[in-house]
Amino acid sequence: MGKVTGFIDFQRLEEGYEPVTKRVKNWKEFVIALNADQAKVQGARCMDCGTPFCNSGCPVNNIIPDFNDLVYRGTPADWRQAIDVLHQTNNFPEFTGRVCPAPCEAACTLNVNDDPVGIKSIEHAIIDRAWAEGWVQPQPPAAKTGKRVAIVGSGPAGLAAAQQLARAGHEVTVFEKNSRIGGLLRYGIPDFKMEKTHIDRRVDQMQAEGVTFRTGVLVGALPADAKITNDAKETVTPAQLLAEHDAVLLTGGAETSRDLPVPGRELDGVHFAMEFLPQQNKVVAGDKLKKQLRADGKHVIVIGGGDTGSDCVGTSNRHGAASVTQFELMPMPPEQENKPLTWPYWPSKLRTSSSHEEGCEREFAITTTAFVAGTGKDKGRVVGLKTAQVQWQAGRMSEVPGTQKEWKADLVLLAMGFTAPVATVLEAFGVDRDNRGNARAHTEAQGGYATNVARVFAAGDMRRGQSLVVWAIREGRQAARAVDAFLMGTSSLPR
């Protein structure tokens, strides 16, 4: 432990943001990270608890007190060791240091009656310095096993598994249906939250470690009417993969968006968020798109109050929307959680994102009952929607009489979460699904992540359903160990 009284002497310091007027004019990251001196002070606030709840609150079980202490000590050698500690449990701290909601901070012991340690900001500072100093280098295996592994999907679960398995000496090929690697990290999370150069340099590192990436390749099939980003120019069958590889790991995302089947759903101008967001990612990357979905001058309504909805808000503001309104079906949560009741678990409380701060009206306990069609030149297009307020009693929702309202809307974005992975991909492999449509596979140490199909494993959102980037990394790492043990009889990879 560095400074014994640090949690008393120092206050939490948040990372800064560039001014709204500046940041909405571009697609670059705008978070102002802590400098070395600021990170040192924040590291001093860590109490080195006898039972560090932050460690168990973090899905990848980052060894948080250790790297906090190293940053507090602050010599170049300490910072160098801090990234080694961080990489022991997390392959990609530059991803989680930017987009993770930080359940570790909710679990911080200091959070019981004070502001928690700024763990996420310290992680962000460590990995950014590590890249700047050249401390992140390829780690190719000392020997090859001769075993071949196919990984389907290049999101955080697939990338984490690929890196672990390549370092174990296996020949790993990652198959991605889109034109660039990254999955939801690439196409979904806006560039202003995470610039894609962070993915590119990890891909370069992994290629130097022996990973092969094949983009534009669809494994299996997609439904004909799927509203899913797909750049595939080649199709590979499950039988081909199994014939050419010793094991296959399915790490695709939960890409089936939750729909809103109310009157008028078929109108032009009503779109899934994942039709809208990936297009902007592609444009930022330099792709030329015909008829890009844009919010310029439009009255935008985002249905869904989570992170995806927030990303739609930020993107719409950067397009120059006339107005942005976000609907949430649930009641507005309290501004401050009841810490004695919720700690160390993730609490329900009102969360205002940087995108909300850029301009957004938020409506809670509201349901959309119909989309309104235009007439004349607007025939076939959405021009508004109808809503009603709702109330919740004993877990059941009912409309509040007399609260019906009509809203002007030129663009409606459905951001209500994701129900399951694409069924046709799992069906092509013959993988059993659970009652939510996810690949059925348990996570126990023995036989974990294995599906009912021999030599086929599943991890990430394809197995657990929609979740966080950090959970995907955890599952990818654990699945890599399971695959390695299956291939070799034992594994030295961490679980």
Residue 226 confidence class, pLDDT cut points 50, 70, 90: confident
Structure tokens that stand for 210 in this block: 């022996």
Least confident of 4-8, 26-30, 76-80: 4-8
Per-residue pLDDT reduced to its tens digit, 351-378: 999 999 999 999 999 999 999 999 999 9
Residue 225 confidence class, pLDDT cut points 50, 70, 90: confident
pLDDT reported for residue 224: 82
Give me the chain's average pLDDT, please. Answer: 97
- Residue range 468-474: average pLDDT? 98
Question: Residue 411 phi/psi, 5° resolution?
Answer: -145, 125
Let me know if the fold of 6-133 is the same as that of 259-416. no
CATH node for 259-416: 3.50.50.60
In whole angstroms, how far apart are CA 337 and each of 19, 327, 341, 392, 393? 28, 22, 8, 19, 21
Residue 1 confidence class, pLDDT cut points 50, 70, 90: low
Q: Against a cut of 0.85, is the pTM above it?
A: yes
Residue 3 confidence class, pLDDT cut points 50, 70, 90: confident
Count the residues in the chain.
495
Q: Is the pLDDT of residue 245 over 80?
A: yes
Domain over 6-133 is classified CATH 2.40.30.10: no
Q: Is the pLDDT of residue 105 over 90?
A: yes
Cβ atoms of 410 and 383 within 8 Å: the answer is: yes
Structure tokens that stand for 252 in this block: 């695709």
* Cα 156 from Cα 159, distance rounded (Å): 5
Per-residue pLDDT reduced to its tens digit, 403-451: 999 999 999 999 999 999 999 999 999 999 999 999 999 999 999 999 9
Kindly list the domain boundaries of the chain, sorted by start residue.
Answer: 6-133, 148-256+419-488, 259-416
- Rounded to 10 degrees, the C-alpha dihedral 150/154/159/160 comes to -90
Residue 104 confidence class, pLDDT cut points 50, 70, 90: very high
Residue with tokens 């951001």: 415
Architecture of domain 148-256+419-488: 3-Layer(bba) Sandwich (3.50)
Q: Please count the other Cβ atoms lying within 10 Å of the Cβ belonging to residue 357.
A: 12
Per-residue pLDDT reduced to its tens digit, 136-159: 999 999 999 999 999 999 999 999
